[in-house]
């Protein structure tokens, strides 16, 4: 009788833990981003499946090309989901929208973050970080301004020579002046930032073309908006990688990324952010999934999404 009661208690606790465990979501785009936002889910961070039959949750409506590439979604301090995205291969701004449930979205906005730089070629892969201390959001992205930086000016693809820039906002209505976030003398794109204790960790792509790098590296800072170190040695292997997104599950950091020349996704894991193990053969994603971000939702929120 005692063993039966113990078994029932263990089962009850296990079910309670499962019902309160977060569900991992992955925002992504397909093709060139014409049909907008796609979402995939996972219960373990390894096996990912598309939601809504892999159809779009939100179609793009802003900017000249009306694309929704590289969708980044974060949960804000207000409990809402905030999303930014790349609207075009060549444009001076980014897209923004918000949602309470990832199903019903606000009107889409175009934020002209580089309008003060008339020669700026692009705004790629914007991301959002919520600064709890200042109670504000930082939006950051990669832009090429021709002739601005001599280092790397001929080492990019099609004369792109990116650096990372940022603005801050408390309400996504008014924004600080655009400032330079990261310049270490090389072509850099696809940065994503995580807080680790009192340190900020920037995962980034070394976009150098000659000699080819096209790998992921890490830079660190004690300050969110600047002071990031020179990049680490590559944390990815002898393949071209881009679009990192990061999550911590238990003691394990997992970085997902696009092996874009191989048309598939990869992943690496680490417990100390120094030694990395490739787990690409252990993760599965929906076919055609491209650069996005990973975040969590509650079981209740997931039930609404999966109806």
193-239 pLDDT, tens digit each: 999 999 999 999 999 999 999 999 999 999 999 999 999 999 999 99
For residues 129-149, average pLDDT: 97
Phi, psi of 74 (to 5 degrees): -130, 155
How far is residue 252's CA from residue 247's CA, in Å, rounded to a whole number? 8
pLDDT at 8 over 70: no
pLDDT at 4 over 90: no
| Of 224, 290, 282, 214, the residue nearest 252 (C-alpha) | 282
Residue with tokens 């997902």: 256
pTM for this entry? 0.93
Strand partners, 256: 245, 267
Strand partners, 193: 202
Specify the 3-state DSSP secondary structure of 12: helix
206 or 155, greater pLDDT: 206
Task: Give me the helices (H) in 73-191, please.
Answer: none
* pLDDT classification of 252: cutoffs 50, 70, 90: very high
Sign of the CA dihedral 280, 283, 288, 293? Answer: negative
pLDDT at 111 over 80: yes
- 57 token code pair: 């949750």
Longest dimension (CA), the chain: 79
Sequence-separated (6 or more) residues with CB below 8 Å from residue 303: none
Sign of the CA dihedral 249, 252, 253, 259? Answer: negative
Phi, psi of 190 (to 5 degrees): 55, 45
Sequence-separated (6 or more) residues with CB below 8 Å from residue 203: 191, 192, 193, 194, 216, 217, 218, 235, 244, 246, 255
- 155 token code pair: 């080492």
| Of 296, 289, 212, 299, the residue nearest 256 (C-alpha) | 289
Among residues of the chain, what percentage have pLDDT more than 70?
A: 94
How far is residue 42's CA from residue 37's CA, in Å, rounded to a whole number? 17
The confidence score (pLDDT) of residue 10 equals 40
pLDDT digits (tens, 9 = 90+) for 57-102: 999 999 999 999 999 999 999 999 999 999 999 999 999 999 999 9
pLDDT at 2 over 60: no
Strand partners, 268: 255, 278
């Amino acid at each position: 009788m005692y063993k039966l009661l113990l078994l029932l208690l263990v089962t009850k606790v296990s079910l309670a833990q499962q019902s309160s465990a977060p569900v991992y979501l992955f925002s992504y785009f397909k093709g060139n981003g014409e049909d907008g936002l796609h979402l995939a889910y996972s219960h373990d961070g390894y096996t990912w499946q598309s939601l809504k039959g892999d159809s779009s949750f939100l179609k793009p409506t802003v900017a000249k090309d009306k694309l929704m590439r590289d969708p980044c979604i974060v949960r804000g301090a207000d409990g809402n989901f905030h999303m930014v995205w790349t609207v075009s291969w060549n444009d001076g701004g980014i897209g923004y929208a918000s949602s309470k449930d990832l199903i019903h979205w606000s009107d889409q906005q175009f934020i002209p973050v580089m309008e003060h730089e008339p020669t700026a070629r692009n705004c790629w892969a914007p991301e959002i970080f919520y600064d709890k201390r200042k109670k504000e959001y930082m939006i950051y992205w990669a832009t090429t301004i021709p002739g601005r930086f001599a280092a790397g000016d001929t080492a990019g693809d099609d004369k792109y020579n990116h650096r990372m820039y940022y603005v801050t906002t408390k309400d996504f209505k008014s924004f600080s002046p655009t400032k330079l976030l990261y310049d270490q003398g090389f072509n850099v794109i696809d940065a994503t930032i995580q807080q680790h204790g009192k340190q900020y960790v920037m995962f980034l792509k070394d976009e150098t073309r000659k000699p080819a790098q096209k790998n992921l590296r890490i830079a660190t800072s004690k300050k969110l908006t600047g002071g990031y170190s020179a990049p680490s040695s590559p944390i990815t292997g002898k393949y071209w990688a881009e679009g990192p997104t990061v999550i911590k599950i238990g003691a394990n950091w997992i970085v997902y990324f696009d092996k874009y020349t191989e048309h598939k996704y990869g992943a690496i894991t680490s417990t100390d952010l120094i030694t990395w193990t490739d787990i690409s053969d252990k993760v599965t994603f929906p076919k055609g999934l491209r650069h996005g971000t990973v975040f969590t939702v509650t079981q209740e929120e997931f039930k609404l999404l999966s109806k």
